[in-house]
Chains A and B, each alone.
Chain A
Amino acid sequence: EVQLVESGGGLVQAGGSLRLSCAPSGFTFSSYEMNWVRQAPGKGLEWVSYISSSGSSIYYADSVKGRFTISRDNAKNSVYLQMNSLRADDTALYYCASGGRGSWYYWGQGTLVTVSS
């Protein structure tokens, strides 16, 4: 059974940092692109970041560029999102998602990040 388990969310003050982790299982992690997608309370979905299967290609949404860093460790079957200089509008449920190119049939249940101002 495929599972993606996110962790690392919590309450942080504006300007602070958090590191999210996603630990997939049930599929060959090293063969899959990984993404972070977030959803602010009561709002829609927003793609945040992408990392290729090897880690050689990385992309960010403009809203997080320069503040967030995605990485992965294929030996540990994990993908990470380092979030620095957090702002109130980063408050959201953060999902990791994977599957085909741009089409995500694997999703975690999300980890909640709350940034207090």
Chain B
Amino acid sequence: DIQMTQSPSSLSASVGDRVTITCQASQDISKYLNWYQQIPGKAPNLLIYDASNLETGVPSRFSGSGSGTDFTFTISSLQPEDIATYYCQQYDNLPPYTFGQGTKLEIK
């Protein structure tokens, strides 16, 4: 099975900062990588699919890049409402579909 290694596990940043989270797959997954946001007490929300495509309605300060095994998720200017845990998830070929361990983002 494909393993996803996400870092950092937690992150503290100030409003307006640029925030970057990375995710590494244990084997080539092409572009088949999603990023989800989970606000405490809520279900996950898909932000980015196919590594770099912004889901409809998601603010443009969120972006994703990468292919193969190395991927990056970026918030260009952190806003207070971005406080959440972020997960990468691979969906290469057939299940199992695996998540990264999550990155808990806090405001400094």
**Tally of contacts, chain A with chain B, CB under 8 A:** 58
Give the interface size class of chain A. Answer: 20 to 34
Contact A50 B97 (CB under 8 A): yes
Give 16 A-B pairs besides A44-B85, A50-B97 with Cβ atoms closer than 8 angstroms. Answer: A44-B102, A45-B44, A45-B87, A47-B96, A59-B95, A59-B96, A61-B96, A62-B96, A102-B32, A102-B89, A102-B90, A104-B34, A104-B44, A107-B43, A108-B43, A110-B43
Give the interface size class of chain B. Answer: 20 to 34
Kindly state whether residue A100 has any CB partner on chain B within 8 Å: yes
Q: How far is the CB of B8 from chain A (nearest CB, A)?
A: 14
Bound-complex Cα distance A44 to B102 (A): 6
Contact residue among B44, B49, B101 (Cβ-Cβ distance under 8 Å from A100): B49
Contact B1 A62 (CB under 8 A): yes
User: Which A residues from 101 to 115 make CB contacts under 8 A with B?
Assistant: 101-105, 107-110
Kindly state whether residue A35 has any CB partner on chain B within 8 Å: yes
A107: chain B residues at CB < 8 Å are 43-45
1/0 per residue, CB under 8 A from B, across A81-100: the answer is 00000000000000101011
Contact B91 A102 (CB under 8 A): yes
Q: A103-B49, A105-B55 are contacts. A47–B44 as well, Cβ < 8 Å? A: no
Q: How far is the CB of A90 from chain B (nearest CB, A)?
A: 17
Closest partner residue, chain B, to A4 (CB atom): B43
Bound-complex Cα distance A6 to B15 (A): 36
Bound-complex Cα distance A106 to B85 (A): 18
